[in-house]
Amino acid sequence: MSLPFSPMSTDRETADDPHDPAVARLIDANLDRAREGLRVLEDWCRFSLQRPDLVARCKDLRQRLGRHHHDHWKLARHTATDPAAGMAHPAQAERLQPSQVLAANAGRVQEALRVLEEFARIPDPALAGDAALIRYRLYDLEVDLLRAGAAGPDRRRRLAACSLYLVTSPVQGLESVVEGALRGGVRLVQYRAKETAGLTDHERLEQVQALRLLCAAHGALFLVNDRIDLALAVDADGVHLGQDDLPPAVARRLLGPDRLIGRSTHRIEQLRQAVIDGCDYVGVGPVQATPTKPGRPAVGLAYVQEAAAESPIPFFAIGGIDGDAVAAVRAAGARRIAVVRAITEAADPEAAAAALLSALEAEA
């Protein structure tokens, strides 16, 4: 039976003992430290960011460590005999912002994992291996947490600055059409491909990935119609929901607070409900009958006037709007329009987008 290792010991065999109680205490302390820090991050993702995807990632790392926190580690240490228990540092009192708390706890977890990686190699190689894996995953998780904290306000500022919104349709050369529109000044794009388009989910995913990259390259917001799964798969800026799609509250739980949610509305009561539901913007229309929405009667300019008088969130007039209709829509109070065919069926999407923006500015 080996003696407890102490700083005064020079017994090499004792120091290398895989059951050294000093190492066991060190491992227990750092498992506690890492798991507690991950719980801080997890609860921030849950209650503040409301990001179930980030919650799941934190929880997975925390539970991985929990599987290694065996009783023999816990029984090796008692806070009453720990000379550093309760020791604080003045820096803790300086953490006045959530971002500082998150950074401190992410650093705390990373440091604890490094200690576990080094000291658990002999007594518990599986723990050492998982500690190294988790440490590298935590680097990416920390970056995603920081981005999530800043993404919401930035997206909403960019949304408020948009006046021309392109909604796609399944046309030939879709990527080229969208790229032309972006060159022409479009800064908000929605991918829309209904089931009648005859595309498989794999084909939709390929299109969404390509358009997401194009929008990112041009500094444009990118939304997906209906499909929350596709939006999450490509880290889109949000989704657009019709009246018959998932309720915004459900979408918000899945997407978290930072992504944008838009809602199609056809009368003022629906707009009011969208505001109550926490939507970030609404579509108002269809102003004119359009083959994009077969069977949907036009609401005319009267509803645009109602929206202009009442809407506290950005709204986009939509439905059969082209360059010739911009003046009337603007006169009704709209400052933003959404179009489909005016760009997707144009011979020159870039020129069409630029002309629409010019018409919007000219009427300002």
Which residues form the catalytic set? 192, 264, 293
- Listed in sequence order, the residues at least 6 apart from 150 whose beta carbon sits closer than 8 Å to its beta carbon are none
Cβ atoms of 2 and 17 closer than 8 Å: yes
- Listed in sequence order, the residues at least 6 apart from 34 whose beta carbon sits closer than 8 Å to its beta carbon are 65, 108, 109, 112, 113, 116, 131, 134
DSSP letter at 6 equals -
C-alpha distances in angstroms, 331 versus 284, 305, 308, 326, 341? 15, 9, 10, 8, 22
Residues listed for the chain: 364
DSSP per-residue codes, 193-233: --GGG---HHHHHHHHHHHHHHHHHHT-EEEEES-HHHHHH
Six-digit token string for 147: 């981005």
Q: How far apart are CA 37 and CA 64, in angstroms?
A: 14
